[in-house]
Structure 1
Amino acid sequence: MSQPFSLKIFVATGDPDGLRIVERSNWIGKAIVFPRPLLPTIKQREEFAQTGVYLLLGPRPDGDGEMIYIGEGDPVRPRMENHFSNKDFWTRAVFFVAGSGQLNKAHVQFLESQLIQRAKDAKRMRLENIKSETEPTLSEADRADMLVFLDHMLSMLPVLGISAFEMTRATDIRVADITLLNCVGKGLKAQGYESNQGFVVKANSQASVELTASMQQQMHGIVDLRQDLIANEVLQRVGDCYVFKQDYSFSSPSTAAAIILGRSANGRTEWKDETGRTLKEIQTQQAGL
């Protein structure tokens, strides 16, 4: 079970959208979060002279959703300066460093490799990295320390608005607390449930092969997401339909329903429990309205 923790956020420029220094209770590391335009004026800070692992985030070329690039620097500053000049897509960045001497080149290469693999496994965001980085050999003690460092990073990132590494964690929810819902249409059946991460569609759920003309013309973001799911083998063709090969978390029940049915869909009415109650009716009842 996840343990509670606290974060301290220092807004260094006085602008909530500007430079933020984020520290976690009882941890040697910290995150530096900033928008791209600020780099020239903040790169003299001591954190940029330290060894760290970083994430660059920005819109996809089609404008629907974000993509991410993962890297490491020893120190961070030259890598950031290079990406400022040569990588166009990113609009914001976050990097993690620790106290003096706490991280070395092998440490951050290990963290980079782990983050790339986890982003590929989660399949939540398009990865800009062309190739995987080879994981360096660490001593048993260093590896254990870096796995703890990685775990703290991963727990902080969703709070910072970065969900690229989040795996669907069915074990975090007691079975008794799950209201399992069905989405049915075109001879297809899918099952899912609401979670803290979004709306989870369960493995072995079915999805339509065909898309309506209106969806192709007007819902480019959903169509692109669907293509990503196919390319990443979350959806695989089985006979006359696609099948989810893993539990997958969507941002909303409507997005999940649209992917499954191949058309525009209101998830609050498409998803129903075994008695036929819609998600909207269930939510209304739970709210006591």
Structure 2
Amino acid sequence: MQATTIKLFLVHGNPNGLRTAELSNWSGKAIAAPRTEISELLKRDELASPGVYFLTGVDPKSGDRAIYIGEAENVASRLKGHSSRDFWNSVTVFVSKDENLTKAHIRYLEGVLIGKANDNSSAIVVNSASSGAKLPESDAAEMDVFLQKCLQLLPVLGISDFNEKIDQTSETKELLYCRIRGVMATGKRTANGFIVFEGSQAVLEHRPSATRMRDKREQLLDKGLLQERGDHLIFTKDIEFGSPSTAGSIVRGGNSNGLTCWRNSNGVQLKELETTET
């Protein structure tokens, strides 16, 4: 990405409260707020425009990050309809300052964003599906530029679920391994938690004591992100989890301490490695 200037405005002076974000030389604008300030957000003129929005929070079953991606010709009206959803605690909206987004544009953006979120797998995507929209080639190219600007701003506003994954082949000295009963997974610490790489293995059976992790593993199986291969499971994509412990628990089939079950190629535990680094 190119260097750019971000203009971040804290409406009430609170860095976690209602705020707007803009990039230099870009027609888009982001508005974000916690759920506790939704009434203030809905009063803003920008939300009467077409746009895409993100509801973010925590899945009540698994405790993992959850995200809903939507679009609307009048974002404020659509957000009022989400008051019955209890998982989300913050909302982020993207609109165009020149009012140049059409229904087809925002449907296209929604479809691409849902696809990216599902591919990334770092959060539970609450949406069932999206058909997106086909655009003329020139419009699609314009929306792809708009999308890249949105992706550049999202981490600044606290949404890191679209960040590009780490390349497994880079800095192999930092790779970590989790071994149990003849299976092995490979992973690495990330800024957002811990990534387990495609091709890693996990035990086939849940531990009898597994509760929350049983649900999480079954969700991954339902999505095809974990698949049964003989006497074990295999990761079909890189998957980023919120912590080394969650990653280790998925691999081991039950609650595990990620700081001790992940080790480097010399057998040194992650806990010791982080102590040495500090």
TM-score by length of 1: 0.85
Letter in 1 for 2:57: G
Do 2:121 and 2:240's aligned partners in 1 also have CA atoms closer than 8 Å? no
Q: 1:20 matched to which residue of 2? A: 19
SS at match of 2:224: coil
Q: 1:51 matched to which residue of 2? A: 50
* Residue 215 (1) aligns with residue 210 (2): yes
* Residue 239 (1) aligns with residue 234 (2): no
**Residues 253-264 of structure 1 mapped to structure 2, 5 A cutoff:** 253-264=244-255
Match of 1:90 among 71, 88, 91: 88
Letter in 1 for 2:28: G
Q: 1:159 matched to which residue of 2? A: 156
**Residues 1-289 of structure 1 mapped to structure 2, 5 A cutoff:** 2-62=1-61, 64-84=63-83, 86-135=84-133, 137-170=134-167, 175-176=170-171, 178-216=173-211, 220=212, 222-287=213-278
Q: Cα distance, 1:270 vs. partner?
A: 1.8
Distance 1:156 1:5 in 2: 11
Distance 1:30 1:243, change over 3 A: same
SS at match of 1:193: strand
Letter in 2 for 1:149: F
Do 1:178 and 1:193's aligned partners in 2 also have CA atoms closer than 8 Å? no
How many aligned positions are there?
A: 278
Structure 1 residues without counterparts, runs of 5 or longer = none
Sequence identity, in percent? 39
Runs of 4+ off more than 6 Å: none
Q: Cα distance, 1:97 vs. partner?
A: 0.9
Distance 1:82 1:266 in 2: 40
SS at match of 2:214: helix
Q: Cα distance, 1:242 vs. partner?
A: 0.6
Distance 1:279 1:89, change over 3 A: closer
Q: Cα distance, 1:110 vs. partner?
A: 1.0
Which whole-Å deviations, capped at 9, do the CAs of 1:158-181 have from their partners, x for residues lacking one? 23222333452317xx72464222
Distance 1:176 1:88, change over 3 A: closer
Distance 1:127 1:4 in 2: 30
Q: Cα distance, 1:31 vs. partner?
A: 0.9
Letter in 2 for 1:272: R
Do 1:50 and 1:100's aligned partners in 2 also have CA atoms closer than 8 Å? no
Do 1:124 and 1:166's aligned partners in 2 also have CA atoms closer than 8 Å? no
Q: Cα distance, 1:6 vs. partner?
A: 4.1
Do 1:168 and 1:197's aligned partners in 2 also have CA atoms closer than 8 Å? no
Letter in 1 for 2:160: S
SS at match of 1:237: strand
TM-score by length of 2: 0.88
Distance 1:270 1:6, change over 3 A: farther
